[in-house]
Amino acid sequence: MTLPEFFEQHPKAALAFSGGVDSAWLLCAGLRCGAKLKPYYVKTQFQPEFEYRDAMRLCGTLGVEPRVLRLDALCDESVRRNGPDRCYHCKINIMSTIRAAAGKDGYELLLDGTNASDDSGDRPGMRALTELGILSPLRLCGLTKPQIRRLSREAGLFTWDKPAYACLATRVRTGEVITEERLRRIEAAEDALFRMGYTDLRVRTSGERALLQFPAEQLPRAQREREEILSRLSAWFAQVEIDQEGRAKSL
């Protein structure tokens, strides 16, 4: 099946929209196919502000009006306690919120941007998609992340080379309670590093300790600037370390 064939069969749908590479291309492709797609962005404490700005910018570029929904991600104890199944419960809450709003707006079908490169074994949240009956056109049509990036570049979408960015909750060690204060500190620390010119990084936390994971190609620079980095991040963490192995490059 191709995307045009998919949208011929499903000409009207709501889209769980994050503003990342995948959902951005899916929105663009659907609109090009003449489908009536309505993007829904759920704003929680887990999304940094730049993700929200990117999502709104992309919708503006495509000339479509998104609907922004607010959700307190930490009101669910299964999420706040941060157990191994946190992602599943979080996904249920987000998608249920979108489904309820979309249903009131007249949309029966809900789509998401999961692609063919996503391994269901590494994505516990994908179980929630199956249970809620959410369709993933990119996955159904066999489109991989590299293909989506290429198509996005050809379409002129600024998201084509945007690094994959897992939510802020993934920075907190499993089993440690997630709090708004901790999330704010993580976001502020990552933003400080972004402002220094670093990209595609992670600030992992456990207690008052922060472990900085830079892509391998940025690690030599980070080591040279270690003292400046530690000084800047001392405002949020008592102990800051740089992971000497670096992190694998995102697709």
| 129-181: pLDDT as tens digits | 889 999 999 999 999 999 999 999 999 999 999 988 889 999 999 999 999 99
CATH code at position 61: 3.40.50.620
Helices (H), 33-122: 49-62, 77-80, 86-104
Task: Return the bridge partners of 212, or none.
Answer: 203, 242
Asked if residue 126 lies in contact with residue 120, where contact means CB atoms within 8 angstroms, the answer is yes
Q: For residues 154 and 198, state if they share a domain.
A: no
Q: For residues 95 and 190, state if they share a domain.
A: no
Band of pLDDT at residue 250, cut at 50, 70 and 90: low
Q: For residues 130 and 44, state if they share a domain.
A: yes
pLDDT digits (tens, 9 = 90+) for 51-89: 999 999 999 999 999 999 999 999 999 999 999 999 999
Q: For residues 81 and 193, state if they share a domain.
A: no
pLDDT at 2: 95
Q: For residues 190 and 85, state if they share a domain.
A: no
Mean pLDDT of all residues in 233-246: 93
Q: For residues 134 and 185, state if they share a domain.
A: no
Q: For residues 156 and 220, state if they share a domain.
A: no
Q: Is 249 inside a domain boundary?
A: no
Asked if residue 35 lies in contact with residue 153, where contact means CB atoms within 8 angstroms, the answer is no
pLDDT digits (tens, 9 = 90+) for 84-131: 999 999 999 999 999 999 999 999 999 999 999 876 655 676 788 889
Q: For residues 37 and 86, state if they share a domain.
A: yes
Task: Quote the CA–CA distance of 90 and 77 in Å, as a whole number.
Answer: 10
Residue 95 zone, left/alpha/beta (φ > 0; ψ -120 to 50; rest):
alpha
Number of structural domains in the chain: 2
pLDDT at 26 over 70: yes
Asked if residue 192 lies in contact with residue 229, where contact means CB atoms within 8 angstroms, the answer is no
Pairing between β-strand 36-43 and β-strand 67-70 as defined by DSSP bridges: parallel
pLDDT at 251 over 90: no
Q: For residues 135 and 36, state if they share a domain.
A: yes
Q: Is 168 inside a domain boundary?
A: no
pLDDT digits (tens, 9 = 90+) for 180-195: 999 999 999 999 999 9
* Average pLDDT for the chain: 94
Q: For residues 126 and 20, state if they share a domain.
A: yes
Using the 3D structure, point to which of 113, 135, 161 is the last residue of a domain: 161
Q: For residues 41 and 107, state if they share a domain.
A: yes
**Count of CB atoms within 10 A of residue 1's CB?**
11
Structural domain for 117, as ranges:
3-161
